[in-house]
Every structure is written in C-alpha cells, then in structure tokens.
A and B are shown apart, each in its own frame.
Chain A
Amino acid sequence: MSAAPVTLTEDELRRLKAPARRERLFRIASYFSPLLLLLLWELSSQFNLIDRRFFPAPSAIAGTAWRMTVSLELFQHIGATLRRVGIGYVMGAVPGIVMGLILGLSRPARRVLGPIFAALYPVPKIAILPLILLIFGVGDASKFVVIAIGVFFLMFYNTMGGVMQTPQIYMDVARNAGATRFQTFRRIAFPAALPSIFTGLKLAAGSSYIIIAAAEFLGARSGVGFFIWASWQTFAVSRMFVGIVVISVMGYLTILALEALERRFVPWAKH
C-alpha cells in the first residue's frame, strides 16, 4: 500500500523501505545462483578443465535429453517409475496414517503394538529388497511392497507424533461437546495431526524415489532407475546424467505438488 503517512520525508521513506528492497534483490539472486554453477560446469567441461568422460558438458546432456524426449524413450521410463512410486506410496501411506491415528489416540494400543513397530522400523528398506524380490518376484509387486514399507513407517511415526502433540484442550472440547470416540478420531485427531501428516508425506515422497531407484537398479527392465543403471553398464555417461536429472526433477515436482496440497488442506498452519 502506498498510503504513506504525510509526516515522513522522502529520505525517511527511502531508508524505511531499504531492507525490503535488499530482500527482493537477494531473492532474485537466489534464482540465478544455481544457473551460475551450471555455467561454471559448462565452461570447465568445454575447456577440458574437468574430465569430459565423467562430466559431459550440460549442453551435451541437454542434447541427449532432447533426443530421448523426441524418441519418447524417456517417457516410457518415467511412466514406469511413477506408476510404481504412486501405487507403493498409497499402499504405504493409508495404513500408516490409520495406524498412526489409532496408536496416537489409544494408550493401550501404543503400549502393546508400539514396540513391534519400533523393532521393525530401523531395518534398512534396501537391505530387505532381496527378501522382497524372493517373496514377490521381480515384477512390479515387489517394487510396490518395498516402497509401501518405507512409506508406512514414515507416515506411521509422523501421524502418531502429530496426534500425541494435539493440545489436550481440543480433546476436552470434543468431549464436552459430546463427541463419540470415532468423531474425536475424525474431527479432532485427524485435522490436528494434518500438519505432521504432510511433513510425513513429503519425507516419504523423497524416500520413495531413493527406494525405487535402488529397486530398479537391481531387478527391473524399465524405469528411470533401470535406465541409469543400464547407461552405466554401457558407459553412456551423458544418458546417465539425464536419468539422474529426471529422477531428481520427479522428486522435486512431487514435493511441490504436496506443498500445494498442504496449503490447500492445512491453511491454518504456518508454511
């Protein structure tokens, strides 16, 4: 708003607004600093300051990416990875949230079942991948399962934490208003835990891509992880970089989408 108080001089106003102006400049600079790194890389590669076999110039990688996009080869891999992550994610998140709510609300359930989850949680998901391949085969089912396991624990612990941090007063309000147990669950515990649930969803999205990359390295004939691994085996470094960038961008976009959902569904929390 430009409703400047008449009692301030031009100079005073200028000094008053200086920090905000500086802040804007920094923000603009922050968009360009990653590009600067890219430029440095490009020049170093062009002038042979770094080994071009390991670090092809960004322009060369972009060229490879473009050819792969035109030939639609890339999309087939992206599609396969997205499908596995998407299905595994939902398979893990829904039971994770439900169990988190139950154990968060019920002390007896937490006492009895808590130690089981605590014992299983530290097992590295990638360490049990061979076991899961053994049980579910090399098809997509094993990918769904390994992602679901990873996502489950993150959602479970974040949701339970969110419920347990719910101010007691909200529970009292529900009780005084005559809420049933299920109503308390749905109308109080769930919304109170939503900020934590979204934190969990974002963490789980990140770890889903880690797990799927590893899973596709080992036992898949498609997907971005498979593509990176296959490129390494044929020493197609440029293609490997394309794979790395693609899976990073997929992760980034997923988080952005979740943040948009969070703003939509958790408008009361600070972002």
Chain B
Amino acid sequence: MATVQEAVRPAATQQAQPAIEVSHLTKAFYDSEGDRVTVAVSDVSFSVARGEFVCIVGPSGCGKTTVLRILAGLEEKLSGTVKLHSATPPAMVFQEASVLPWLTVCENIAFPLSLKGVSRARQDARVRDMLALTGLTEFATARPHQLSGGMKQRVSVARALVDDREILLMDEPFGALDEQTRLVLQQELLRIWETTGKTVVFITHSVDEALTLADRVLVMSPRPGTLISSLTVPFERPRDVVEMRRDKRFWDMTYEVWRLLASPARA
C-alpha cells in the first residue's frame, strides 16, 4: 500500500523550480439579476513541477474547470496569485468539440501557427509531424463533421501541441467519449507525453482516468471548490492503461480517492 498523502501546500522538498505555482486562488461569479454571489473556487493552492502530469478530480461544479481557465488566461481571478514559469503561454485542449468546423483537419491543427505568420513550409512540416504523432495522417484533408468524437479530440490534442508550448492544460478532453475510445486515447496521450515531456494539468471527473494518467492527483471538494488532498500515484512508467488495472494498488487508490470525494469533511 504505497499511497502517499501529501499536504495540500507544495512540499518544501520540491527540488526543481515548479512550472506552475498557484496560491490562495479564489474566484467568484456575480449574477446581477438575482443579486447572487457564487464562490466557485476558494483558497486553492498547489504547484506543478516541470514535466509533471497532474490530474485534478472533483465532482461537477467544483470549479476545477474554472481553475484551468484561469491558468489559461481565459478567466480573471478574483484574488490569489498564479505564476507560470514558462516562456510560452499554456496550450489548452478543450472539453467539447472545439474543432473548427469550417477548417479541414490539417487547417485546424495549423491554426495556432497560421495566426503567427509561420511560413507555409514550416507549418506543413509541423502539421505532418503532429498528424503522425496523433495517428491522424489518413484524415489530413477530412472535415470535422466526417470525424468521430475520438478523432476530433485527437485533432484538439494535435492543435494544442503544434506550436510546442511548455504547459498543456486539458479540460476533460475525453469526457464525452465512450469507454473504449477513452482508454485508447489515454494510452496515446501517455505515449505523447512521454515523448514530449510537457507539463500537463488534466481535469477530469473520472477517478479512474486520473489514476491512469497522473503522477499526482489533486482532489477537489464540491462547491465552493477547494483542494482537499494531493495523492502521489506510484505506478512506474511507461504505463499500460489496461495492465495497470491488474495492480491491487490501483484499486486501493481508487477507494482512497472515492473516500475523500464522498466525505470531504474528513480530509
């Protein structure tokens, strides 16, 4: 039983400089019609090491997506600090179909590069690499409406990787997919992560998915969302998403996380 439960605050022993440092982050929404204030995220602090794969799990509405959107700069924080130690802004893989329907697969992947005036030749070379990396080569000229949900999410991942940013933020990217497709994509994502060495923050409501992918799992409580635990996932890499389900520790940890989610007061 190798479940290591850390303090919520980053441990002082963290050697390298972290890629992401979040402290006392709070976010609230104000509904002027009903004159109602909703605290979405309350006093969240955590850090992510360079090259680390961190999953944030929590029930829906716990503000995990809000945390990610703040990291991505898509949402303003109310208070606290967010520090990203990276030369490039983070890339985001979105929840639902975020693939632009008027562009082909290639054009979708090239989108971030095309905005920055990268030469055609370099765009094509980069897109070719991404197609190969994500297994989309045969679909290069397809249009999104011809693709399955899983294929669309591959496009999203390829697009987020194309301009090679250091931090990858993933907002329940496989949430809408069926179980089999999801497993295949998880394995693919692990392979890609191992070859690119990016810092990843991955949001999911699936405990299973979090344990399959992450180095560390951050558990959030229901609204107002706050961190209740940080668990180190001990499985060696590279991982086999199917084989690891034979490991007893996988189920022990699943139980541990469920226990935390079921009664946040205990943590």
Contacts and interface: CB of A to CB of B under 8 A. Distances in A.
Interface of A: 169-170, 172-180, 183, 187-188, 191-192, 194, 266-268
A178 B100 contact: no
B98 A177 contact: no
A174 to B, nearest CB: 8
B96 A169 contact: yes
Q: Nearest 5 A-B pairs (CB), nearest first?
A: A177-B112, A191-B102, A268-B101, A176-B92, A169-B98
B101 A173 contact: no
B12 interface: no
A268 B74 contact: no
A169 B72 CA distance: 13
A174 B72 CA distance: 12
Contacts of B97: 169
Contact of B98 (A172, A183, A266, A268): A172
B144 interface: yes
Given A172-B92, A267-B143, A268-B144, A187 B98 contact: no
A169 B73 CA distance: 14
B115 A173 contact: no
A159 to B, nearest CB: 15
Contacts of A176: 72-74, 89, 91-92
Contacts of B73: 175-176
B102 A194 contact: yes
Which applies to chain B's interface (DSSP): helix, strand, loop or mixed? loop
Given A176-B72, A178-B116, A268-B143, A170 B100 contact: yes
**Interface size of B as a range:** 20 to 34
B74 A173 contact: no
B145 interface: yes
A168 B159 CA distance: 18
8 contacts: A169-B94, A172-B98, A173-B100, A173-B159, A176-B89, A176-B91, A177-B111, A177-B163
Contacts of A188: 100
B121 to A, nearest CB: 20
B125 to A, nearest CB: 19
A178 B98 contact: no
Contact of B115 (A169, A187, A268): A187
Counting chain B CB atoms within 10 Å of each CB, the highest count among A176, A188, A194, A268 belongs to A176
Given A191-B102, A268-B143, A268-B144, A178 B89 contact: yes
B101 A178 contact: no
Nearest to A194: B102
B102 A175 contact: no
Contacts of A177: 111-112, 115, 159, 163
Contacts of A172: 74, 92, 94, 98
A178 B115 contact: yes
Contacts of B116: 178
A268 B145 contact: yes
Contacts of A170: 98, 100
B16 to A, nearest CB: 26
Given A173-B98, A178-B115, 10 more contacts: A169-B98, A173-B100, A173-B111, A173-B159, A176-B74, A180-B115, A183-B115, A187-B111, A188-B100, A268-B144
Nearest to A172: B74
Contacts of A194: 102
Contact of A191 (B74, B98, B100, B163): B100
Contacts of B72: 176
A170 B89 CA distance: 18
A178 B91 CA distance: 10
B112 to A, nearest CB: 4
A193 to B, nearest CB: 11
Contacts of B98: 169-170, 172-173
Interface string B97-122: 11011100000000110011000000
B105 to A, nearest CB: 12
Nearest to A178: B115
A177 B103 CA distance: 15
A110 to B, nearest CB: 18
A178 B74 contact: no
B127 to A, nearest CB: 14
A214 B163 CA distance: 57
Nearest to A190: B102
B91 to A, nearest CB: 7
B148 to A, nearest CB: 16
Nearest to A192: B102
Contacts of B143: 267-268
Nearest to B89: A178
Contacts of B111: 173, 177, 187
A192 B102 CA distance: 8
Contacts of B95: 169
